Amino acid sequence: MASDHSGSTATQQSGLVPHDAEEFSFLAGQAERLGAAVPNAERIDVASSAGAVVSAIAYGDAPADIVLLHGAGLNAHTWDATVLSLGEPVLAVDLPGHGDSAWREDADYSPHTIAPAVIGVIEAVASTPVVLVGQSLGGLTAAAVAAARPDLVSRLVLVDITPSIDQGGPEKLRAFYERLEFSSREELVDYAVSFGLGGDRVEARRGVHLNSRVREDGVVEWKHHFATIAAHALDASSSARTIDQAASWRDLETVRAETTLVRGTRGFVDDSAADVFREHIPSASIVALDAPHNVQEVAPRELADVIRKAHS
């Protein structure tokens, strides 16, 4: 049975809303669809060294040695189906500026900037060393964590991301976040589905509920800070983007942990990007799954198999 042990300090941070008392209400339906058991689920808040709250969800009855980091514009609940498919203790982190974690005043959510906050959560809550799994922005952040703290990471799994990601991906995300306000959550569901995000309509509805909020005027908006800065943050023509690519490649080339890249065949990492990744990291394994960018939502069983293999 899911439980919510919310910390009061998180609701006082900039950009946050109170923890959603119904956030675990979707687990039973997902578990039934997947033929899985419903794990205990607990909301945990950890204060970073800077004093900001980083929130995470601990699934299972024991300290987790599998840690999941979501992509930009998502939150820890994007991993729910994968967690159910795994059936093992897991810690899913809301990256800074996302979900129930505090927003940064400088709006800097680059991998090296937010990696220390992730390290703090792993040190405080997880059973180390961990299998660290990151999708999209979470993948590059995971690489930064593994490079900076090799003692904390035993295996690294990147989901549909490389530092030289196909430029079609960022362009698609910029287009998606051109619209930030909606008259209802159902309208937002229609919008997400039209971009091929969030899986089927049932899953898209769940994702929208967990990643949006209704303002006092009735307008529905994204819960995460990233929506308002996505176009600038993903501007591939900027010099900052070039520097970030170089830094992320250095991270991956420094990582000691065994590394696996999971590609979505309909995602952002095309054959060319996969080839470049193989040239940089020849020791890494590359697995292709039939899925779009959000592999964890569309192919959770298959992704769980990959994570389970890395965990064994």
Catalytic annotation on 293? Answer: yes
Catalytic annotation on 160? Answer: yes
**Rounded to the nearest 5°, which phi and psi values hold at 234?**
-105, 15
Which one from 20, 65, 80, 160 is the annotated catalytic residue? 160
Q: For residues 258 and 275, what is the distance between their CA atoms, to the nearest angstrom?
A: 18
Q: For residues 50 and 2, what is the distance between their CA atoms, to the nearest angstrom?
A: 30
Q: Label the pairing between strands 66-69 and 90-93.
A: parallel
Which one from 136, 154, 212, 248 is the annotated catalytic residue? 136
Which one from 19, 70, 112, 293 is the annotated catalytic residue? 293
SS3 73: coil
DSSP E strand boundaries for 11-113: 41-47, 53-59, 66-69, 90-93
Catalytic annotation on 8? Answer: no
CB of 279 within 8 A of CB of 260? no
Q: For residues 291 and 242, what is the distance between their CA atoms, to the nearest angstrom?
A: 28
CB of 261 within 8 A of CB of 135? no
Residue numbers annotated as active site: 136, 160, 293
